[in-house]
Structure 1
Amino acid sequence: MNNKNSMVTKLAFLSVSFMVTSAYAIQGSLPQLKAALGISQPQSEYLVTTPSFAVMIFVVLSPLLQQWFNISDKKIIMTGVTIVGIAGLVPMFISNYTIILISRLILGAGYGLYNSQAISLISVWYQGETRAQMLGWRAAAEQIGQACTLAVAGLLLNYAGWHASFLVYAFAFVVLFFFAMRVPDDSKAQDNSVAEDNLAEELTNEESQEITKISPVVYLLVLFAFLLVVDYVGMENRFPGLSVAINGEQYTGSSMFLSLMLIGATLGGICYGPINKLLGFGTVYLGLGLMALSNFLFGFAGHNFVLMVIGLLLIGFPLQLVSPLIFNLLPDLAPANRQPLVTSLCLIGFNFGSFFSPTIGQWTNNLLGQPLSGLGLAAPFPVYGVVLILIGIIIFFASRHAQKA
C-alpha cells in the first residue's frame, strides 16, 4: 500500500477535488449561452448551479449505494469521476436547453457520488495539524481546479465558441488515471479515534471526552455553509453579466477575472492551516469580515469596473478560510462512525446554497425593486455583506455565552 504521508499519495487524494468545482467552469460563457439558447438570466445561471441539486441527493445516496453494492471508497470515487467526464462533455454536441440541463444534473450526480468520501477520508486518514493542513490543501485543490477549468473553458470560448468550452471536462479522465494509479483500494484507515483540535469547545464548552452523539452545532454549520455559498456563487454568476453591462455586448474577458479570483481562493486554502494555528476560532471572524468587505466593494462599484474586480478577487480568500474550518470542526462534533453523515450534511448545505443562489438573488432584486439586468445584477451583494456581519456578531456572542455557561 502506498505511504499515506508521501507527497505523491497526498496529491492523489487531493486530485479528485480538482474536478469537484468544475461545474463553474462555464460561468464565463453564460452571456453567450443566454443569447444562443434564448433563455433568461436565472435560466442561464441554473446551468451552473443545477449540478448542486443532484449533489445534494447523491451525497446522501452515495453511502447507501456503496453499502448495497459493497463498493470500496476508491471504486465509488472512480465511478463518480467517470460520470463527471462523460456528462460534462455532452453539451459539446447539443444546443437544446432542456437536454443540456439534464446533462448538468447527471454531472452533479457524479460529484455527489464521491464528494463526501473525498473529504471524510482526510478526516480518518490524518489527524491534528496534518488534517487541518490537508483540509486546507483540499480547498486549495478545488480552487486550482476551478481556476484551471475556467481559464481553459474561457480560451476555448474565445477561439471555438460556447460548445467547445465544455471540452474542459476531459480533464476528469486525467484525474481518474492519476487517482487509480496512486491511491490504494483501502478506505479502512480509521481506528475509530480522531484527534481533537479543541476548536469546537468554543461553541460547545464541553470537556474532552469520547464523542457519542451528533452535536446540534452541526446543523448550525449546515446553515452557515448554505449562506456562504449563496453569496459566493451569486457573485461568480453575476460578474459576467455585469462585465458585459459595463464593457459592452462583445466583452468576453470574464473568465480571466474569475480565474484570477480563484488564485486568492487557492491562497486562502493554503494559508488556512497556518492562520488557523495562529488565530484558532478567530479565523472565522477574519473570514467573515473580509467577505463582507468584498460584497460592499462589488455591490457599490457601479460603473467602476476596477472596483468591482477588486471585490471579486477578494472574496475567494476568506471563503477558503471559513469553509475548511467547518469541516475541521466536525470531528469534535460527532463520533468517528458518523463522520461521513455530518460531512454529507455540510456538503448538502454548501450545494443547497449553490443551487438556490440564483433564486435568492432574484428574490433580493425583487425586494429591492432592482432589475435582473444591467447594473441591477449587483444589488443583492451589499445586503449579503450586512448579513455576514450580523452572522459574525451572533457567533461572537454565542461563543462568549457558551464559555461563561
Structure 2
Amino acid sequence: MKTKLPTKMAMLSISLFLMSHLAIAPAIPKLYALYHGQNPNIGLASVESLVTIPAMMITIFVMLSNLVVATLGKKKTVQLGLVLILLSGIISFLTKQFAVALLCRLLLGVGIGLYNSLSISIISDYYEGDERASMIGFRTATLNIGKALTTFIVGLALLVGVNYTYLVYLLVIPVYVFFSKYVPETSSGSLSLKKATYFNQAVLYLMLITFFVGISYIGATIKIPSLLVNKYHYSSFYVSNLLTILAFSGILIGLVFGQLTKYLKDKTLAAMIFLMGLGNLIFTFATHSAFFILAALLIGASFVGTMSSVFDYIAKHFKKEHNHFVTSLAITAGNIGVILTPVLLTKLPAQFQLEMFIAPFYMTSGFMLVNLILYGLLVKKTSQEKS
C-alpha cells in the first residue's frame, strides 16, 4: 500500500517511547534523595525499581493488548497507550509521594505494553516486501533513538529539578497528534480474539529464538562490565564507551536492515544469529581492546538485526490477522529471557562453581548455536506448511 512520508513518520514516531522507562536511570541518585527525604524507610533498591518495574507490566500487557485490540481496534489501542504514558509522567511530576510515583511507573508499563507489538504489526497492515522490511528496521532504529533522546532530555531536566525528569513524557503530545492525524484505522479494525489468535510449531521456534537472543544480548550488557573491569582491569569509562558503541551499532543496522533483506531474504535471521554467537564467543578468548570493540559492534548490530528479522519473518509467513498475536508472543518470550538472565548467567554458573567472568559468554554462544538449529527447524516447518 502506497502511503505518504508523514504517515510513515507517524507510524515510526510511536516507537520513540518503547524504551523510555529506562530514561530516568540517570536521575536515580537525586530521586532517592527526594523520596528518602520524604520517607526514610524508602531504600535505594525501592527507588531503582522505578526503572525496572515498568518492564513487568510491559511483559504482561504485550499479551493482554490482544484483548484490547479485539475491542478497540489497533489505532485506538495505540492512542490509549500513549495517553497512559502521558498521564504517568504528569502525575509523577505533580507528586512527591513515592507510592504514587511507583503506581505511575506501573501505568507507564501498561501504556508501553499496550502498543509495543502494534508498533510492528501495524506496519505489516500497510507495507509488503522490501518496503515492509525497511520500515521494520527503521522502527527498531527509532526505538533506540528514542531511548537516547529521552535519556538526554532527562539529563537536561535534572538541571532544573529532579521532578522535572518526568516531564520527558510531554513528548507524547506531538506524537499523539501526529499519529492520530496521519495514521488511519487499519482495514482489519477490531478482530475477535478467536480469529486473531494462532499457535503452531513455527511460532514456538520463533519464541525460543527471541528467548535466547534476549538472554544473550542483556547477558552481554551486564557481563561485559564485570569481565573487563574485574578480570582485565579496564576502566569503567572505557566500558561505558564500549556499551555506547554496542547501542549505536543497533541504530545503524536498523537503518540498513531493509537493504540487508533484499540480498539475504529469510537467511538474514540466520546471519544475525551467527553474528550474535560470534560476538559473544570473542569475549571468551579476546584480551585486546580492538577485539572487544568488534565483539560489541557484532552483538549490538545482531540483536537489532535478529529481532527485526523475526518480525519480518512473521509478517512474511503468517496471515495479517495473526501478525499482532504472534508478534506479541515473540516479544513476550524475549522479555522473559531478559528477566531470567541473572538466574541463568549468574546464579546457575555459581551453583555449578563455574568461572564467573568467561562462563556466561560460553553459555550465550551456545544459546546461539541452539538458535541456528531452531532456525533450521523453523524453515523446515514453514516450507512443509506451504507445500
Asked if 1:228 corresponds to 2:231, the answer is no
Identify the range of structure 1 (310-319 vs 10-19) with the bigger mean alpha-carbon deviation: 310-319
2:330 matches 1:346: yes
| Residues 2-401 of structure 1 mapped to structure 2, 5 A cutoff | 5-27=3-25, 38-39=43-44, 47-68=50-71, 71-88=72-89, 94=96, 96=98, 101-154=102-155, 159=159, 165-184=165-184, 186-188=185-187, 214-237=199-222, 258-297=243-282, 311-367=295-351, 369=353, 380-393=360-373, 395-396=375-376, 399=379
Change (3 A) 1:134 1:336: same
Q: Quickly say closer, same or farther: Cα 1:352–1:397, change in 2 above 3 A.
A: closer
Q: 1:187 to 1:398 in 2, by over 3 A?
A: closer
SS in 2 for 1:188: coil
Cα displacement (A) at 1:284: 2.2
What is the CA distance between 1:161 and its match in structure 2? Answer: 8.2
Tell me which residue corresponds to 1:200.
none
Tell me, in whole angstroms, the C-alpha distance in 2 between the residues paired with 1:160 and 1:120. Answer: 39
Instruction: Provide Cα deviations, 1:168-187, integer angstroms capped at 9, x if missing partner.
Output: 33333332232223223x22
Identity across matched positions, percent:
30
Q: 2:180 and 2:318 mapped to 1: Cα distance?
A: 30
How much has 1:261 moved relative to structure 2? 3.1
On the 8 A contact 1:27/1:255 being kept in 2, the answer is no
Contact 2:212–2:371, Cα closer than 8 Å, also in 1: no
Give 1:180's aligned amino acid.
S
Q: Deviations over 1:338-397 (max 9, x none)?
A: 2222122112222222333344444345336489xxxx6776334212321342245347
* Per-residue deviation, 1:12: 0.4
- CA drift of 1:218 comes to 0.9
Change over 3 Å in CA distance of 1:232–1:149 after alignment to 2: farther
Structure 1 residues 145, 300: closer, same or farther in 2, change over 3 A? farther
- Rounded to whole Å, the distance in 1 between the matches of 2:32 and 2:348 is 21
Structural RMSD (CA): 4.1
Give a deviation string over 1:83-135, Cα, whole Å, max 9, x none: 12332566665584x66554333211101111222221111211122212211
Letter in 1 for 2:68: L
| Cα distance change on mapping 1:95 and 1:255 into 2, 3 Å | farther
The 2-side partners of 1:179 and 1:237 are apart by: 35
Distance 2:103 2:358 in 1: 29
The number of aligned residues is 369
- Given that 1:147 and 1:263 are in contact with CA atoms closer than 8 Å, whether structure 2 keeps it comes out as no
> Partner of 2:194 in structure 1?
none
Give, in whole Å, the separation in 1 of the partners of 2:300 and 2:381: 31
Q: Are 1:290 and 1:314, in contact at CA under 8 Å, matched by a contact in 2?
A: yes
**Could you list the runs of 5+ residues in structure 2 that have no partner in the other structure?**
37-41, 192-196
Contact 1:295 1:385 survives alignment (8 Å) = yes
* 1:66–1:142 CA distance, 2 compared to 1 (3 A): same
Secondary structure of 2:186's aligned partner: coil
Conservation of the 8 A alpha-carbon contact between 2:124 and 2:132:
yes
1:315/1:259 CA distance change after superposition, 3 Å: same
CA–CA distance in structure 2, aligned partners of residues 379 and 47 of structure 1: 31
Structure 1 gaps of 5+ residues are 193-211
